[in-house]
Amino acid sequence: MSYVSPSTVSIPARDLLVIGAGASGLMCAMVAGRRGLSVTLADAAARPGGKIAVSGGGKANFTNLHITPEQYVGADTAFCAPALERCTPQDMLNYADRHGIPWEEREHGRIFCRVSARRLIEALVKDCARAGCVMLAKRAVTAVRATDALFTADTDLGPLTARHLVIAAGSPAWPQAGATDGGLRLARSLGHSVAPVRPVLVPLNMPREWALHGLEGISLAVRIRVRDHVFADHLLFTHQGISGPAALLASCRWEPGTALEIDFLPERRFSELLDAPECGKLLVRSLLSRHMARRLADKLLPPELAARKVAELSRAARTLLHATVHAHTVTPTGTCGLRRAEAAAGGVATREVDARTMESRRCPRLYLTGEVLDVAGYLGGYNLHWAWASGKAAGESVGA
């Protein structure tokens, strides 16, 4: 594997310099290298694909069977369509198959490796090497300049030059994996506008007075509504609020001050359970705890109704209980921030980038791919798929 350490200082001008050996940078370098371009791939980290390695709990949820632009957040999600059309989920499954990487489909069409995500990184790195790419580790690019013919990228170990440049440096989410806002700063320095960055796919914190604190560890299937968006998945109570897929999905559409409406019994109608003759003798809390953890039922129900017999409830009480279970409303105080976020919304304005090629409309021969753009996907393999698709689009277009 030709992953070159920092000792390689002087490299002649190349056709293409890719900044960032993450998901989109590796894909882009591989595709461009296979087309015969001379490619240098420089990464600040010691090892490529840091976020791929931690993704999907180490098993990389690397694509989804139901990819459409509607699963993305950004100023113009239609921007994603041309690249997604040219890189399908099947293409990524074929890629895994060709490299003998076993995968499995989980709920909601989510595709995970059945082995370590590192196998995916190794496959990409090997393919980049076979395609003749020179890969440089520990090469943080601190500044870039464009002249008529060449880009010059400054690094601690000397400049790198190339006729074309791809910024594939990701977003500042999850800095533990080496993520910074470096890519956004480089894009800005070349004339791009950047939409404000905010953490998404991130746990949400709840107000101190929230009635449902103290349930950490409990997980259940829920439906969460945020404004006009509804997400059905599992929710996990945490010390500070909520996490789990449903909460992470909700965070994609959450803005400060926005209330969430949580349905804790999405597959049943509590009013029907309350009206069922065979349930009349049960206490309300006993009935509800047949369908969720007792500790949750106890905290959710109004104390004055929890210990009443179902048969004794007035119509108004039944309506109130139904709303309590199916439309629990709470306004989070905030998110757990970029440190706990699997992605960042915001980034380079997509109106300044050609959706078919990922080429900048501001700076010719500059390309932008992956999460550095104002495109963030829902939980479920959409972010990695966007990285593959946008990396491929750029790799196919550079110098064409």
Ligand X SMILES: Cc1cc2nc3c(=O)[nH]c(=O)nc-3n(C[C@H](O)[C@H](O)[C@H](O)COP(=O)(O)OP(=O)(O)OC[C@H]3O[C@@H](n4cnc5c(N)ncnc54)[C@H](O)[C@@H]3O)c2cc1C
Residue numbers at the binding site for ligand X (CB under 6 A): 19-25, 42-45, 50-52, 54-56, 60-61, 140-141, 168-170, 173-174, 177-180, 182-183, 342-343, 370-372, 381-384, 387
Q: Kind of pairing, strands 110-113 and 61-64?
A: antiparallel
* CB of residue 356 to ligand X, shortest distance in Å: 18
What are the distances in angstroms from CA 167 to CA 16, 187, 246? 11, 7, 32
Do residues 134 and 66 lie in contact, with contact meaning Cβ atoms separated by under 8 Å? no
Whether the CA torsion 299, 302, 307, 312 is positive or negative: it is negative
CB 347 within 8 A of CB 171: yes
Nearer to ligand X, 44 or 220 (CB): 44
Nearer to ligand X, 202 or 206 (CB): 202
90-99 own/partner pairs: CB under 8 Å, 24+ apart: 91/388, 92/62, 92/63, 92/385, 92/388, 93/63, 95/123, 96/62, 96/120, 96/123, 99/123
- Of the two residues 11 and 321, which places its CB atom closer to ligand X in the complex? 11
Question: In whole angstroms, how close is the CB of 283 to ligand X at the nearest point?
Answer: 42
Nearer to ligand X, 200 or 325 (CB): 200
Phi, psi of 161 (to 5 degrees): -125, 150
- Residues ≥6 apart with Cβ < 8 Å to 342: 55, 173, 174, 200, 201, 202, 248, 379, 383
Own/partner contacts of 225-234, CB < 8 Å, gap of 24 or more, are 225/260, 225/261, 225/262, 225/263, 226/250, 226/253, 226/254, 226/258, 226/260, 227/253, 227/258, 229/253, 232/266, 233/108, 233/379
Shortest spacing between CB 119 and ligand X, in angstroms:
14
Q: Which is nearer to ligand X, 19 or 224 (CB)?
A: 19
Q: How far is the CB of 223 from ligand X (least distance, A)?
A: 22
Nearer to ligand X, 332 or 380 (CB): 380
Structure-block tokens of residue 310: 């179902």
Q: What angle do CA 147, 153, 155 make, to 5 degrees?
A: 155
| Minimum distance of ligand X from residue 393's CB (angstroms) | 13
Write the CB contacts of 367 (distance below 8 Å, at least 6 apart in sequence).
28, 164, 165, 166, 167, 357, 358, 359, 360, 394, 397, 398
Q: Whole-number minimum distance, CB 347 to ligand X, in Å?
A: 9
Provide the minimum distance between the beta carbon of 79 and ligand X in the complex, in angstroms, as a whole number.
15
CB of 380 to ligand X, least distance (A): 7
Beta bridge partners of 358: none
Q: Which is nearer to ligand X, 300 or 387 (CB)?
A: 387
Nearest to ligand X of 56, 241 (CB atom): 56
Q: Name residues whose C-beta falls within 8 Å of residue 65's C-beta, 6 or more positions apart in sequence.
A: 89, 105, 109, 111
- Provide the minimum distance between the beta carbon of 84 and ligand X in the complex, in angstroms, as a whole number: 13
Whose Cβ is closer to ligand X: residue 61's or residue 289's?
61
Of the pair 264, 386, the CB lying nearest ligand X is at 386
Q: In whole angstroms, how close is the CB of 155 to ligand X at the nearest point?
A: 8
